[in-house]
Structure 1
Amino acid sequence: MTSTETVEVPTAGAYRIEPGESTISFATRHLFGLAPVRGTFALREGLVHVASPAETSTVRATIAADSFDTGLSARDNTVRSGQYLDVAQHPDITFTATGVVRDGGWTLRGTLTVRGRTEPLDVRIDEVRVLDGKLRLRATAEVDRYAWGITAAKGMTGRRLRFSLSLSATQVSIA
């Protein structure tokens, strides 16, 4: 294992993300930027493959689109509807990273697929540690929903969402 600041590069191998021990939260603003909105999504599954060199590592994660939750059922149902996420037709949101860039820190370079549309997304790795035999990762990303063609309720609904990820993964053997 090698270490750079708050990023420990774990032993090469596959790590299965533990959905019950991981969180995906977001923050945005609505009502023309006047009111904050916070919420969460649930991770369905994920796999981190730590490679050697670490820059060639990969990640794949699937988020349950219908897990969108801000604590306000009317808003949550609207966001899950065809107006926004269209969870009936697109039950999964997927993130796939095909490499890591060292740019004064660490950034996962990948793509995010929402409503069947795939666009680039960089995820900033804030911390990676191996504790109690588990890989623990904290990261952030900003998503502009317009890039994925989700443009309903301009002004009333926040355009940009800031995501905070806290993931826990266990090393597994993949046959």
Structure 2
Amino acid sequence: MSSSNDVTVSAAADLAALAGDWTLDPAQSTVEFTGRHLLFLPVTGSVPVRSGHAGIDTDGSLTRLDATVGVAGFDTGNPQRDGKVRGPGFLDAGRFPVLRYTGERVVQGTPSVLSGVLTVKEREVPLDFAVDEVAAAGDRVVVRAAAEVDRHACGVGAMRAMVGPRLALRVRAVFVRTP
């Protein structure tokens, strides 16, 4: 977003200006990750955003946040690895086609923190995102945030000796005001 009308939102009073309902734009949103193979070599990839909704109250508090990504689209650019990760030993896309994040609250600060729950294969794991930026322009808001997730805590424990336990997540979520 590069318009001169852009506003960077950083305080609860500013979030109050965004009060209302918002729908996630999957085509403009991204979820990227970095993990470790053989505990040393970085592996990067992405998972496609499927859907999401958010609500902000007039006092700037989060009333709801629900977002999903599609496991079948897990992509690192290595088809053999990607097929394995989508399979039963890792994410099991056939039985669990989505990962869901449910936001619970935003704690203002530097950075602000979005606290919520990540659901992977029916297992719920607390996950906090450091919110790097909230930029608003008209009826669109772009949120950039980062988190670190322990795949073992999420029930994705295959190949422990070959694949590191932690994934760094980077999210760019584009929301459009719901009419």
Runs (5+) with no aligned partner, structure 1: none
Between the aligned partners of 1:162 and 1:112, the Cα distance in structure 2 is 14
TM-score of the two chains, using structure 2 as the length reference: 0.89
Residues 8 and 129 from structure 1, CA distance in 2 versus in 1: closer, same or farther, beyond 3 angstroms? farther
1:144 aligned onto 2:124: no
Q: Secondary structure at the match of 1:54?
A: coil
Contact 2:9 2:133 in 1 (8 A): no
Residues 24 and 8 from structure 1, CA distance in 2 versus in 1: closer, same or farther, beyond 3 angstroms? farther
Runs (5+) with no aligned partner, structure 2: 1-6
Q: Secondary structure at the match of 1:112?
A: strand
1:24 aligned onto 2:1: no
Written as runs of structure 1 = structure 2, the 5 A alignment for 1:43-82 is 43-82=49-88
Question: Which residue identity does 2:95 align to in structure 1?
Answer: Q
Deviation at 1:104, TM superposition (A): 3.4
| Alpha-carbon displacement from aligned partner over 1:28-74 (angstroms, at most 9, x marks no partner) | 1111x221100000010001112232233421101101111000000
- Matched-pair identity in %: 33
Contact 1:8 1:129 in 2 (8 A): no
TM-score of the two chains, using structure 1 as the length reference: 0.91
Which structure's residues are more often strand, by fraction?
1
Runs of 4+ in structure 1 deviating by more than 4 angstroms, as ranges, are none
Question: Number of paired residues?
Answer: 171
Contact 1:138 1:164 in 2 (8 A): yes
Question: Which residue identity does 2:125 align to in structure 1?
Answer: E
- Structure 1 window deviating more from structure 2 (37-46 vs 104-113): it is 104-113
Contact 2:69 2:100 in 1 (8 A): yes
Contact 2:71 2:97 in 1 (8 A): yes
Question: What's the Cα RMSD here?
Answer: 1.9
